[in-house]
Amino acid sequence: MEKAIPKQSSEKLKPKLFSVMKTYSKEQLVKDLIAGVIVAIIALPLSIALALASGVNPEQGLYTAIVAGFLVSFLGGSRVQIAGPTAAFATIVAGIVATEGMDGLVISTVMAGILLVIMGLCRLGVLIKYIPGTITAGFTFGIAVTIVIGQIKDFLGLTFAHAPIETVDKLREIGLSLGTLNPQALIVGTVSLAILILWPKKLEKIPASLIAVIVCSALVKLAHLEVNTIGDLYTISSAPPKFALPAVTFARVRALLPNAFTIAVLAAVESLLSCVVSDGMIGSKHRPNMELVAQGAANIGSALFGGIPATGAIARTAANVKNGGRTPVSGMVHSVVVLVILVVLMPYASMIPMPTIAAILFIVAYNMCGWRNIRNLIKTAPKSDIAVLFLTLLLTVVFDLVVAIGAGLVLTAMFFMKRMADVTEAHAWVEADDEESDPDNIRLKKIPQHTRVFEINGPMFFAASDKFQYLPDNSGIDVLCIRMRNVPAIDAAGVEALTEIVRRCEKDHVQVVFSHVNEQPMQVMKKAGLTAMVGEENFCDHIDTALARAQAIEDSLQPAAAQS
């Protein structure tokens, strides 16, 4: 048994690629090649669109798909994960680039990658599940809203007098610029949106985004429409990724640490969510810690080779699975194909209309917003959870993801503590409504004459500490038996409350006996010195033993009482 534990731990940090290659076949290679090519075709317009939404050049989205996509597949803990630029990062990256420049983004992303590697090596992959679903739903919908607002300008062909960064400022600028609406841009955007919505209903195998790009690029070119294209706004490069390291100073690192933390948390959450979804599709089980290490390495590599932050892309991962991909080889093929497209076909990307890019991002935002999940939460969840969801959503749109997640976690923790405090109680055992089938029913026990039994139910922590202060006076008793079988955990405030009770009892010459103290409370009470104060002999493993101890204490006091 001792030998199995290290083996299991080492497997968690072993890339899935190394495991699946043991049974790899030619048949699976063919399927992975087909899936990789199809996913690359899907990733091409998405990577360009997400790069533009992030405020960087179009080829940088492809660099991300190439470098990060390859590293995540090669090192990752999932069989089918496809990584690359995602919509979740668009507004965050755009904000960093606008305020800190590309060097700031590179440093932030590298630091985020280091944080992700540390999280994986420290086996923190399982901790992601402690981020509540309401917070995830809230910030995901909030990010979708910010993406939509950020693309209205290009969809309508507006001309901004200023270049706002914050979402609220963008909304204000949209309102002020409606008079500059370009009808031709609106027509191209509407045609693109129609293709993106209707095409999958007919021919799902061919990506709708690719068709929209081809059709609308031809429409703008042949009809000589006055619509901005990527080439009008950006310089297109077909050069492959090149290594570049920005100047790094301690002051710069310290200033960019909050951005790095945001990128790391979002990359971890989204990549592991994508792994969970793909596990359900193929009946596999991912290695969360190895996935975090791979995501860290991928973000470091992406940043140093001209890319932007990356994470697992749920839609591209699902497309990989649907087209036969079952091993990390398909993800590696996808990266190689994107590299070939970059070198050979990138100049043609200059012809893609900006309204088409906006339409693609509208669909991306719609698919990621999870409005059905939010609708179900509103119908079924407690009001406190709904409050957390909308607070996170609002703060994501108005401020940023760090503020949103931080506030959401604080509010969730406060509501959780209130719920725990509400179910915690301390009462006299004679007041308890015991079940008839309970073998420890009070009616079946003989309580010594000068003994009082109190039972505490629920966790003893600071939010419920006031409930432990309620104990009647100790007149007429010699022993106070405190039963703690239903106390799973205790904190410093709980120990302090018990210590105060023991001191009061000592003052009144009443002996305290504890019954059925669970492991965690016992360890905390020993560390605080409460066990030594009460005496280890007065800690009993069962109520029967505690009552017998109480009787023995009473018997020992009778001779002294008779002499006095």
The pLDDT of residue 84 is 95
Contact yes or no for 311/207 (Cβ under 8 A): no
Place of tokens 């660099």: 63
The pLDDT of residue 2 is 39
Contact yes or no for 209/360 (Cβ under 8 A): yes
How many independent structural domains does the chain possess? 2
Q: Are 406 and 455 part of one and the same domain?
A: no
Residue ending a domain, choose from 413, 436, 462: 413
Q: How large a percentage of the chain has pLDDT more than 70? A: 91
545 burial via Cβ count (<10 Å: 0-12, 13-18, 19+)? middle
Stretch 41-46: mean pLDDT, rounded?
Answer: 89
459: CATH: 3.30.750.24
Give residue-wise pLDDT tens across range 270-309.
Answer: 898 889 888 888 888 999 999 999 999 999 999 999 999 9
Does residue 544 carry a pLDDT above 80?
yes
Give residue-wise pLDDT tens across range 197-226.
Answer: 998 877 777 888 889 999 999 999 999 999
Contact yes or no for 293/117 (Cβ under 8 A): yes
Q: List own/partner pairs for 176-184 with CB under 8 A and 24 or more apart.
A: 177/153, 181/156, 181/157, 182/156, 182/157, 182/158, 182/226, 182/227, 183/157, 184/157, 184/225, 184/226, 184/227
Q: How far is Cα 288 from Cα 382, in angstroms, rounded to an integer?
A: 30
- Assigned domain for 442 exists: yes
Does residue 238 sit in helix, strand or coil? coil
Stretch 15-42: mean pLDDT, rounded?
Answer: 92
The pLDDT of residue 4 is 41
The pLDDT of residue 563 is 54
Q: With the C-alpha atoms ordered 128, 52, 111, 237, is the resulting torsion angle positive or negative?
A: positive
The pLDDT of residue 436 is 53
Residue 428 main-chain phi, psi, to 5 deg = -65, 140
Does residue 561 carry a pLDDT above 80?
no
Place of tokens 């693309």: 151
465 or 26, greater pLDDT? 26
The pLDDT of residue 274 is 87
- Assigned domain for 158 exists: yes
Q: Are 89 and 109 part of one and the same domain?
A: yes
Q: Are 521 and 553 part of one and the same domain?
A: yes
Q: How large a percentage of the chain has pLDDT more than 90? A: 51
Q: Are 506 and 363 part of one and the same domain?
A: no
Q: How far is Cα 330 from Cα 321, in angstroms, rounded to an integer?
A: 10
351 burial via Cβ count (<10 Å: 0-12, 13-18, 19+)? middle
The pLDDT of residue 10 is 44
Residues 6+ apart with CB under 8 A from 526: 532
Residue ending a domain, choose from 388, 413, 438: 413
Does residue 127 carry a pLDDT above 80?
no
Give residue-wise pLDDT tens across range 323-378.
Answer: 889 999 999 999 999 999 999 988 888 899 999 999 998 998 888 888 888 888 88
Tokens linked to 310: 């990356």
Give residue-wise pLDDT tens across range 407-429.
Answer: 888 888 888 777 777 766 666 65
- Give the type of residue at 78: S
Q: What is the mean pLDDT of the chain?
A: 87
Contact yes or no for 501/474 (Cβ under 8 A): no
Q: Are 295 and 432 part of one and the same domain?
A: no
The 8-class DSSP code of residue 353 comes to B
How many residues are present in the chain? Answer: 564
- Assigned domain for 464 exists: yes
Tokens linked to 85: 């630029």
Give residue-wise pLDDT tens across range 233-242.
Answer: 888 888 999 9
- Assigned domain for 38 exists: yes
Q: Are 274 and 337 part of one and the same domain?
A: yes
The pLDDT of residue 399 is 81
Residues 6+ apart with CB under 8 A from 332: 36, 69, 70, 73, 74
- Assigned domain for 16 exists: no
Does residue 470 carry a pLDDT above 80?
no
Residue ending a domain, choose from 380, 413, 446: 413
Report which listed range, 58-67, 479-488, 541-550, is most confident: 58-67
**Radius of gyration over alpha carbons of the chain, in Å?**
31
User: What residues form DSSP beta bridges with 511?
Assistant: 479
Q: Are 339 and 445 part of one and the same domain?
A: no
Q: How far is Cα 421 from Cα 465, in angstroms, rounded to an integer?
A: 8
pTM for the structure as a whole: 0.74
- Assigned domain for 2 exists: no
Q: Judging by DSSP bridges, how do beta strands 539-540 and 311-312 pair with one another?
A: unpaired
Give residue-wise pLDDT tens across range 138-149.
Answer: 888 888 898 899
Report which listed range, 122-136, 469-483, 541-555, is most confident: 541-555
Contact yes or no for 538/517 (Cβ under 8 A): no
Contact yes or no for 230/49 (Cβ under 8 A): no
Report which listed range, 185-199, 415-429, 442-456, is most confident: 185-199
Contact yes or no for 484/514 (Cβ under 8 A): yes
473 burial via Cβ count (<10 Å: 0-12, 13-18, 19+)? exposed
The pLDDT of residue 3 is 40
Q: Are 400 and 451 part of one and the same domain?
A: no
The pLDDT of residue 5 is 39
- Give the type of residue at 293: V
Q: With the C-alpha atoms ordered 438, 440, 443, 444, is the resulting torsion angle positive or negative?
A: positive
Write the CA distances from 5 to 1, 31, 154, 210, integer angstroms: 7, 35, 56, 49
Which of 383, 469, 381 shows the shortest CA–CA distance to 424?
469
Q: Are 375 and 461 part of one and the same domain?
A: no
Residue 471 main-chain phi, psi, to 5 deg = -140, 130
- Assigned domain for 14 exists: no
Q: Are 89 and 117 part of one and the same domain?
A: yes
Q: How far is Cα 328 from Cα 29, in angstroms, rounded to an integer?
A: 11
The pLDDT of residue 161 is 86
Residues 6+ apart with CB under 8 A from 126: 288
Query: CB neighbours (10 Å) of residue 238?
Result: 15
The pLDDT of residue 318 is 86
Three-state SS sequence of 132-182? CHHHHHHHHHHHHHHHHHHHHHHHHCCCCCCCCCCHHHHHHHHHHHHHHCC
33 or 446, greater pLDDT? 33
- Assigned domain for 13 exists: no
27 or 204, greater pLDDT? 27
The pLDDT of residue 433 is 46
Give residue-wise pLDDT tens across range 71-116.
Answer: 999 999 999 999 999 988 988 899 899 999 999 999 999 999 999 9
Q: Are 180 and 137 part of one and the same domain?
A: yes
Residues of the domain holding 434: 425-563
Stretch 553-562: mean pLDDT, rounded?
Answer: 74
Q: Are 432 and 338 part of one and the same domain?
A: no
Report the Cα–Cα distance between both ends of the chain, in Å, rounded. Answer: 62
The pLDDT of residue 226 is 93
519 or 205, greater pLDDT? 519
